[in-house]
Amino acid sequence: MRMRQGKSILLAGLALALPILGSSAATAQSTLEAVKQRGHIICGASQGTVGFGAPDGQGYWRGLDVETCRAVAVAVFNDKDKVEFVPLSGQQRIPALQTGEIDMLPRTLTWTLRRDANGINFAAVNYYEFTGFMVPKSIGVTKVEDMAGASVCVQTGSTTEVVVNDVSTKHNLNLKTVIFDNVAATRQAFFSGRCDALITDAAALASVRATQAKNPDDYVIFPATPYMDALSVAVRHGDDRWYDIVKWSVQAMLAAEMFGITQANVEEMQESKDPRIMRFLGTEPGNGAALGLDEKFAYNIIKQLGNYGEVFDRNLGAGSPLKIERGPNRLFTDGGLMFPLAFQ
């Protein structure tokens, strides 16, 4: 806790010092060069949301956001473990990216106009989600309109602060907020009963419920707004090459799912005579050279991590303890919002 405090002050200091002192390090060396020279990618990660990003019992990072970083590591180094994960609070994550402490930020970060316009770029959406409330079943609330006068635990540094205010104003609920600087304190306060409700992305709520509640069945989750958020991977402004690499690494997992390419069959799919698949897997070269990567980068990603459906399944879906429905995160061909772009 103390360390974390020190860290946030350090980061604040960095946020101040780097742009002042750093004589445009960003323009001097591209992110790709810096990453290659260093030998690994530095990736902003959550402070522990199982399913999105958290170390497992052996200290190995797992989760959808984590695998998004690994995909980029495979694209650049052909090694999913050439990544260093830096746990960041909601408050720290954007300054850490802006100041160059991390190379990319897939950390349940909602794509918003003002963030986008202010020093970062969103490369790709890796999860669509509602903001939700979680409440104990015992208080007998099942929808937003019932929540008048309730107190809500909120974590600072997220869009949920604004959402909670919007909801409160819209339905005239007079919600009382209790705002914390770090994730652990927010959740602890909710489970101790300090607040009636906890607000964040519904999938993160499901993760918290499954992993931290004494009895997960005692809690109910419902949407706070009818609006969906796009949780996205962000990179710094001003390095288009890196932006492209991150975007197409994420896209590769979606495209593979559409082509029916899985970790298991990717090798035999190299024999495919479908020109699209040939271009995708690099059997017909061109894509890799265009991005400055290995021609086999997409093949390598699928070989080491699998397609988006497989990644989703083992971290959040049926293959995980969370059992979250694919819902809007299905491919558009299955009625979802995920749309792979053309690999040519």
Partner 1 sequence: MLSSLWYSERARSLTAQTVLLAACLAGLYWLYDNAVTNLTARGIRVGLDFLWRPSNFPISESIVAYSPANTIAWAFVVGLANTLYISAIAIVLSTLVGLVVGLGRRSSNPLTSGVTGAYITVIRNTPLIVQLLFWYAIATTALPGPRQALNPVGGVFISLRGIYLPSLHLEGITSLLWVGATASLLTLAAGLIYRRRRGLAVTMLAAITIAPFVLALLAFVAGGGRAAVSVPELTGFNFTGGMRLSSEFTALIIGFVVYTSAYIGEIIRGGIDAVGKGQWEAGRAIGLRDSQTLFHVIIPQALRIIIPPLTTQYLSTVKNTTLALAVGYPEFGLVVGTVINQTGQAIESIIIMLGVFLTISLAVSLFMNWYNRRVALVQR
Question: Token digits for 239?
Answer: 């390095």
Q: Contacts with partner 1 in 8-37 (CB under 8 A)?
A: 8, 12, 15-16, 18-24, 26-27
The correct pick among 78, 177, 211, 263 for binding partner 1 (CB under 8 A) is 177
Q: How far is the CB of 11 from partner 1 (least distance, A)?
A: 9
Asked if 176 is part of the footprint of partner 1 (rule: CB under 8 A), the reply reads yes
Q: Give the residue among 169, 205, 10, 165 at the shortest CA–CA distance from 91.
A: 10
Alpha-carbon span 165 to 177, nearest angstrom? 9
First-to-last CA distance in the chain?
A: 48
Alpha-carbon span 139 to 162, nearest angstrom? 24
Q: Which is nearer to partner 1, 190 or 297 (CB)?
A: 190
Q: Which is nearer to partner 1, 5 or 265 (CB)?
A: 5
Question: Token digits for 98?
Answer: 């802006």
Alpha-carbon span 99 to 131, nearest angstrom? 28
Q: How many CA atoms lie within 13 A of 98 on its CB side?
A: 21
Residue 83 backbone dihedrals phi, psi, to 5 degrees: -135, 140
Alpha-carbon span 283 to 303, nearest angstrom? 14
Asked if 169 is part of the footprint of partner 1 (rule: CB under 8 A), the reply reads yes
Stretch that binds partner 1, among 42-50, 66-74, 90-98, 272-280 (CB under 8 A): 90-98
Q: Contacts with partner 1 in 94-133 (CB under 8 A)?
A: 94-95, 98, 114-115, 117-119
3-state secondary structure of 242: helix
Stretch that binds partner 1, among 88-96, 204-212, 292-300, 315-323 (CB under 8 A): 88-96
Q: Which is nearer to partner 1, 26 or 302 (CB)?
A: 26
Which residues bind to partner 1, rule: CB under 8 A? Answer: 1-2, 5, 8, 12, 15-16, 18-24, 26-27, 90-91, 94-95, 98, 114-115, 117-119, 139, 148-151, 154, 156-158, 161-162, 164-166, 168-169, 175-182, 185, 188-189, 192-194, 196, 236-238
